[in-house]
């Protein structure tokens, strides 16, 4: 410790002595030390909790067969033409490793979507080393969660019951259980370091429990458990410069996980929609709208027929809390809404026209208006091979766009097509072609067909507008 720091500590200690001496407080007798009579009195142990929940944590292996060229030189068209050869392909097996949690005794398992995404052969290994082929019942990329099912032949498997993640507090002890690096089931302990972490980028619904319990690659999909043996969340991501544990891990809260599990029984995850887009209220924004302190979500756009619009809110209003729980940014607002069901009514505490008030908003699914009208572009134009859809509130919600997004969205591009060659990507919004505004799929197909060998296009990608000019 630097000398100055030591001096400051000692100074405060010394100054505290006369104050104590001036007005002595009555002394309480200290409890008499006792000799520990049991192991539990000697040390704190989480063994009983681990013994109860660990059998419900499994390993998940996802195997994918991919085609790989033997020699990368074969990619060169000149090389192919000169030597008259075609690319030689061979199969290669890719395997991803993760963890999972048994949440129903019939063999229903929760894991991360990124663990099983693209997997053609998924195997679940129980804690007793038995292996089962697993079927993906539901995969949701927005929440990065997937529901698997194994056939237990009627055997009842151990489970971990759900806890209420909203009751967690910073400082609570938690256990992380999973299979890091494939070494075998591992249990680590830590505390809840923070709640409501956003901006992590692991999923569309960014609202995470942060913990310092050691998690590493392979822990994804495993359990974050409270000391009373309840599921607090699904371990999902870490922050690290090296890719290994650095003291910061993130878990998807159990209350959102429960909603995804419900979707496995109803044919898909149907998360409600708020019908608005907004931004965090900073100190400067707070003074502008008349709030005494920063906090809440300032509405930038409101979809009139949506829940917020029907509740009477408008652009410039601030949502301060949902059902009494404060919200600080759009991610936390979306999370609070996502833990409800379509048709539920929530109480919003809002700041509007310089006054605080409460309003009731009935939640709904984002409407498909206009219909998606999924179309694959064909013909002689730069977008041939692109699959496109109309932008509706439903498609905008799927892609994470704001409510004010306009145009036609690219869903995918087929490899080797003009659309692929010109660099069109999933999520690109075509706004304008040859000066014509694009609002529907029909607008885009007509504009492309009438291009007569020249196309000037405006495309919105990630909030940035790009101009593409093609001649040919």
pLDDT in tens, 226-259: 999 999 999 987 776 666 667 788 999 999 999 9
Cα angle for residues 266, 268, 274 (degrees, 5° grid): 105
Per CATH, domain 375-471 is 2.30.42.10: yes
CATH T-level assignment (fold) for domain 52-150: Thrombin, subunit H (2.40.10)
Q: Give the residue range(s) of CATH 2.30.42.10 domains in the chain.
A: 276-362, 375-471
The verdict on pTM exceeding 0.85 is: no
What is the spatial distance between Cα 434 and Cα 457, in angstroms, rounded to a whole number? Answer: 6
Please report the pLDDT score of residue 78 as a whole number: 52
Examine the residue annotation and report whether 144 is marked as an active-site residue of this protein: yes
Please report the pLDDT score of residue 194 as a whole number: 86
Which entry of 165, 203, 220, 392 is annotated as an active-site residue? 220
Examine the residue annotation and report whether 220 is marked as an active-site residue of this protein: yes
| Backbone region of residue 128 per phi and psi (left: phi > 0; alpha: psi in -120 to 50; beta: other values) | alpha
pLDDT at 11 over 60: no
Of 9-13, 35-39, 229-233, the range with the highest mean pLDDT is 229-233
Please report the pLDDT score of residue 10 as a whole number: 23
pLDDT at 308 over 60: yes
Query: In terms of Cα–Cα distance, which of 144, 60, 150 is closest to 104?
Result: 150
What are phi and psi for residue 70, nearest 5 degrees? -70, -40
Please report the pLDDT score of residue 2 as a whole number: 40
Class of the domain covering 165-266: mainly beta
Examine the residue annotation and report whether 352 is marked as an active-site residue of this protein: no
What is the spatial distance between Cα 319 and Cα 293, in angstroms, rounded to a whole number? Answer: 14
Mean pLDDT throughout 48-75?
78
pLDDT in tens, 94-143: 677 899 999 999 999 999 999 998 888 999 999 999 999 999 999 988 88
Please report the pLDDT score of residue 7 as a whole number: 28
Which entry of 140, 144, 329, 397 is annotated as an active-site residue? 144
Give the model's confidence band at 192: pLDDT under 50 very low, under 70 low, under 90 confident, else very high.
Answer: very high
Q: Give the residue range(s) of CATH 2.40.10.10 domains in the chain.
A: 52-150, 165-266
396 or 23: which leads in pLDDT = 396
pLDDT at 22 over 60: no
Please report the pLDDT score of residue 451 as a whole number: 83
User: At a CB cut-off of 8 Å and minimum separation 6, what does 20 contact?
Assistant: none
pLDDT in tens, 352-374: 999 999 999 999 999 998 999 99
Which entry of 114, 193, 203, 349 is annotated as an active-site residue? 114
Please report the pLDDT score of residue 408 as a whole number: 95
276-362 homologous superfamily: PDZ domain (2.30.42.10)
Give the model's confidence band at 16: pLDDT under 50 very low, under 70 low, under 90 confident, else very high.
Answer: very low
């Amino acid at each position: 410790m630097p000398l100055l720091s030591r001096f400051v500590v000692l100074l405060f200690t010394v100054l505290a002595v006369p104050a104590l001496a001036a007005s002595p407080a009555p002394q309480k007798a200290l409890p008499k030390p006792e000799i520990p009579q049991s192991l539990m009195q000697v040390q704190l142990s989480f063994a009983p909790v681990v013994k109860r929940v660990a059998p419900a944590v499994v390993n998940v292996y996802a195997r994918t067969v991919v085609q790989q060229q033997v020699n990368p030189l074969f990619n060169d068209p000149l090389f192919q033409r000169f030597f008259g050869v075609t690319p030689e392909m061979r199969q290669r097996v890719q395997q991803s490793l993760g963890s999972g949690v048994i949440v129903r005794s019939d063999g229903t398992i929760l894991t991360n979507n990124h663990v099983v995404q693209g997997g053609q052969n998924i195997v679940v290994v129980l804690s007793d080393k038995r292996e089962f082929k697993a079927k993906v019942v539901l995969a949701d990329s927005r929440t990065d969660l997937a529901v698997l099912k194994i056939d237990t032949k009627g055997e009842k498997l151990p489970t971990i019951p759900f806890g209420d993640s909203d009751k967690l507090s910073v400082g609570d002890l938690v256990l992380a259980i999973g299979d890091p690096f494939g070494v075998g089931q591992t249990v680590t302990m830590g505390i809840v370091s923070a709640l409501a972490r956003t901006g992590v980028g692991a999923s569309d619904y960014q609202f995470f429990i942060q913990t310092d319990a050691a998690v590493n690659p392979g822990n994804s999909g495993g359990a974050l458990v409270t000391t009373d043996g309840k599921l607090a969340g699904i371990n999902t991501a870490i922050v690290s410069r090296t890719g290994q544990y650095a003291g910061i891990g993130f878990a998807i809260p159990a209350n959102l996980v429960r909603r995804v599990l419900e979707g496995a029984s109803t044919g898909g995850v149907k998360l409600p929609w708020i019908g608005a887009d907004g931004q965090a209220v900073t100190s400067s924004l707070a003074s502008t709208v008349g709030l005494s302190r920063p906090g809440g979500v300032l509405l930038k756009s409101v979809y009139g027929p949506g829940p917020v619009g029907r509740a009477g809110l408008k652009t410039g209003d601030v949502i301060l809390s949902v059902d009494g729980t404060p919200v600080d940014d759009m991610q936390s607002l979306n999370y609070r809404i996502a833990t409800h069901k379509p048709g539920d009514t929530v109480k919003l505490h809002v700041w509007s026209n310089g006054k605080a008030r409460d309003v009731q908003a009935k939640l709904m699914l984002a409407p498909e208006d206009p219909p998606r009208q999924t179309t694959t572009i064909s013909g002689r134009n730069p977008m041939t091979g692109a699959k496109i859809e109309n932008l509706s509130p439903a498609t905008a919600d799927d892609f994470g766009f704001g409510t004010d997004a306009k145009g036609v969205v690219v869903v995918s591009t087929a490899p080797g097509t003009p659309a692929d060659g010109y660099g069109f990507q999933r999520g690109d919004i075509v706004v304008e072609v040859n000066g014509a505004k694009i609002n529907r799929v029909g607008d885009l197909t007509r504009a492309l067909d009438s291009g007569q060998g020249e196309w000037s296009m405006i495309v919105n990608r990630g909030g940035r507008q790009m101009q593409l000019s093609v001649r040919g």
